[in-house]
Amino acid sequence: GQQVMQIPQYQHVQEGEDFTTYCNSSTTLSNIQWYKQRPGGHPVFLIQLVKSGEVKKQKRLTFQFGEAKKNSSLHITATQTTDVGTYFCAPSTDSWGKFQFGAGTQVVVTP
Amino acid sequence: DTGVSQDPRHKITKRGQNVTFRCDPISEHNRLYWYRQTLGQGPEFLTYFQNEAQLEKSRLLSDRFSAERPKGSFSTLEIQRTEQGDSAMYLCASSQGAGPGNTIYFGEGSWLTVV
C-alpha cells in the first residue's frame, strides 16, 4: 500500500537558520496535505498541494510538490521559536480524508 | 480554535472498562473522521462518516471499537473492554465535503490512558 517516508525525523535548528523537511512516496500521489502539530497539541492544516511541480508560499514557509508527484518538501527560512513542532505530510488515498500520515519531522529551535 | 470539539479531553480508565468519546464537528460539515495517534507517530485513520453513514472502517478498528453518527451531526467513538494498547490520543476531524479543496480540520483530541 501507499506509504510515505519523512526525513529527517528530527531537526535541531538554530534560530534564524533555514531548514527543509522532505516527504517521499514510492507511488504517485494525487494530492498531499501538510499539517503542523505543536507539542501537546493537535494537527493544524497548513497547505494542500495538487498539481505537479506546484509551489506555494506562506510567509517564511515554502511548500513544493514534485514533478512526478511522488515527493514533497517544506522549506522554512529564518526559523523562529514559533516554528517548534512536528510537521506531517499527509497524502490522500482512495478516500478523501483517509490520509496516510508520515511519521513527521520534529523540529526543535534553539534561540 | 478549529471549531471541532471533543469531549472528554482526558480519560483515565482501568483495563476492561468501556469508554466513550464524543465529537462535535464544525457546523454544516458533512464529513466526520476519527483518527488515533500514539506518541511519536503520525495520526492513523480509523473511520469516517458522510452525514450519518459510516462509509469506511480501518482494519485498526477491532470489534471492540464502534463509532456512530446517528443524526449526521455529532459522533461517538466507544471502546469496549479497553486494553493498555488502546492508550492513545483519539482525534476527530471534519470537512464540508470530499475532494481537494475541502480542508480537514482536527479537534484537540481526547487522550486515553488505560491502566
Q: Can you read off the three cell numbers belonging to residue B7?
A: 469531549
Q: Which amino acid is at B2?
A: T
pLDDT of A1 strictly over 70: no
Q: What is the DSSP string of B16-76?
A: T--EEEEEE-STT--EEEEEEE-TTS--EEEEEEETTEEEEE-TTS-TTEEEE-TTSS-EE
CA A47 from centre of chain = 9
Contact A7, A104 (CB under 8 A): no
- In this prediction, residue B38 carries a pLDDT of 95
- For B24, how many CA atoms within 13 A lie in the half-sphere containing its CB? 6
What is the rounded distance in angstroms from the CA atom of residue B53 to the CA atom of residue B71? 9
Whether A98 sits inside 8 A of B42 (CB atoms) is no
Q: What is the pLDDT of residues A35-72, one digit of tens each?
A: 999 999 999 999 999 999 999 999 999 999 999 999 99
Q: Can you read off the three cell numbers belonging to residue B47?
A: 473511520
Q: Which residue of A has its CA nearest to B108?
A: A42
Q: How confident is the model at residue A97 (pLDDT cuts 50, 70, 90)?
A: confident
- In this prediction, residue A2 carries a pLDDT of 58
- In this prediction, residue B35 carries a pLDDT of 97
- The mean pLDDT of chain A is 94
What is the rounded distance in angstroms from the CA atom of residue B57 to the CA atom of residue A52? 30
pLDDT of A86 strictly over 90: yes
Q: Which residues of A touch B108 (CB under 8 A)?
A: 41-42
Q: Which residue of B has its CA nearest to A41?
A: B108
> How do the pLDDT tens digits run along chain B, 115 residues long?
559 999 999 999 999 999 999 999 999 899 999 999 999 999 999 999 999 999 999 988 889 999 999 988 999 999 999 999 999 999 999 999 988 889 999 999 999 999 9
Nearest CA-CA distance, residue B66 and chain A, Å: 18
What is the rounded distance in angstroms from the CA atom of residue A101 to the CA atom of residue B85? 20
- In this prediction, residue B99 carries a pLDDT of 87
- First-to-last C-alpha distance (Å) of chain B: 31
- In this prediction, residue B67 carries a pLDDT of 97
- In this prediction, residue A33 carries a pLDDT of 96
